[in-house]
Amino acid sequence: MILKLAIRNIFRHRARSLITISTIVFGCVAIIFIGGFFEDVFLQLREGFIEAHTGHIQVYKEGFTQKGRVEPFNYLIDNSQEMISLIRQLPEVDYVTPRIQFSGLLSTGDNTVSFVGQGVDPQYEKSLSKDVGEDLRKAYKEGVKEGVTTLKIGQGLDSHDEYGVILGEGLAASIDAKVNSSVTLLTNTVDGSTNAIDTKVKGVFYTSSKSFDDIFLRMPLKTAQKLLNTESVQSLVIKLHHTDDTQEVRNTLKFLFKKRHFNFEIKTWDELAEFYTQTVGLFKKFYLIMRIIVCVVIVLSIFNTMNMSVMERISEIGTIMALGTRSKGVVLLFLYEGIGLGAIGGAMGVVLGCVVVQTISCVGIIMPPPPGANVGWLSHPMIVPRILLSTFVFSIFIGGISAFYPAYRASRLVITDALRYR
């Protein structure tokens, strides 16, 4: 009966309840939309890093991450084929590709700059994506298959074209290199001597990271090995079908390596993509602050409504208590009303939030390049069930919290004073 009384009271002053519910709905829509937008940012950023730079997991020789920057060639993997065969057996793995990274000088004859080169397997590390946003969305749903190192001009690497290289956009611009330009790569081999090869620019690429594009070039692994005078590789980059499997595969690999007494380091994409981790951390802080602001607005709105409700119903509260309702019952009555307002507003907010996010997502939001990048992107805010559920629960909780003080105040009224109140 108290619940029934509470529900009827919610609709007692329809205009006032409507305004309060509208505030809750607006707050919920804002939380759902911003949350969906940030989730899309996280997804695009994450998959961008995985595809263009890190893969899901990288395997190095033990000690590489500690000392590999200074002595990279002291931590080469000699038995890479055995390792690759072992890793490929895992069903979660899409493919494994070896890499070797080195630095040197790049010259067109007229201009010379330093570079960082990556020897990669062209078969797996293609440069295909033309529409980053759409491909990532597809990739997220179907499992990542294609790279997001986007070719600006020219062609990608080809395993049949041993001496074709692709340059990052900034690197190509710094030496004024064009497609089909001849460039010479000069570097130290693994044994410390100097070696150089003549290559041809097949294409120019860009990624989501401007700093990467300014210094990196990519070339076929075999050519890099020839240049460095080695048959070893530096790392194995593992791509999975689904990003969510990363930790599971990491644990399996750890177990397999231990069993075979392999001394290797296993790093996951989130340990390697520091920029991603920092960006996510920053955005999550923004989101938290926004939620707090929305929470305060909703609390004040419900609190105001409930407080007015108590003031208007003092005599009624007196009657309820005179009829034998304990203080707890009075508290419950107003708590139910606050929770009811929160639940109605939350439910409507979730439905409207889905409609708004879906509508905006269909159109997309054109975003400028993020800091450190040179390409803009198209954001498609996502409907995230976790956010919908938490927003609904949050609005109910806030409803209860906001109503608590007015409810407590009502329960402390003196019956005889309340009955006399007009």
Partner 1 sequence: MALVEVKDIFKNYFLNKTSLEVLKGINLKINQGEFLVISGPSGSGKTTLLNIMGCMDKPSSGEVFIDGQKTINMTSDELADVRAQKIGFVFQNFNLFPVLSVIENVEYSLLFKPWSSIEKRKKAQEALSMVGLSEFARHKPLELSGGQQQRVAIARAIVREPLFVLADEPTANLDHKTGEGIIALMKKRNQQHKTTFIFSTHDQKIIDQADRVVKIWDGEIQL
Residue ranges that bind partner 1, judged by CB under 8 A: 1-2, 4-5, 8-9, 11-12, 315-316, 318-319, 321-328, 415-416, 419
With respect to partner 1, which residue has the nearer C-beta, 141 or 328?
328
What is the nearest approach in angstroms of partner 1 to the Cβ of residue 344?
16
Least separation in angstroms between CB 139 and partner 1: 55
- In whole angstroms, how close is the CB of 7 to partner 1 at the nearest point? 9
Q: Which is nearer to partner 1, 9 or 54 (CB)?
A: 9
Separation CA 159–CA 136 (nearest Å): 26
Distance of closest approach, residue 329 Cβ to partner 1, in angstroms: 8
Output 228 or 317, the one with its CB closest to partner 1: 317
Least Å distance, CB 136 to partner 1, is 53
Smallest gap from Cβ 336 to partner 1, in A, equals 13
Closest of 40, 35, 22, 88 to residue 367, by C-alpha: 40
Looking at the Cβ atoms of 8 and 285, the one nearer to partner 1 is 8
Complex with partner 1: residue 122 or 340, whichever CB lies closer: 340
Cβ-based nearer residue to partner 1, 225 or 327: 327
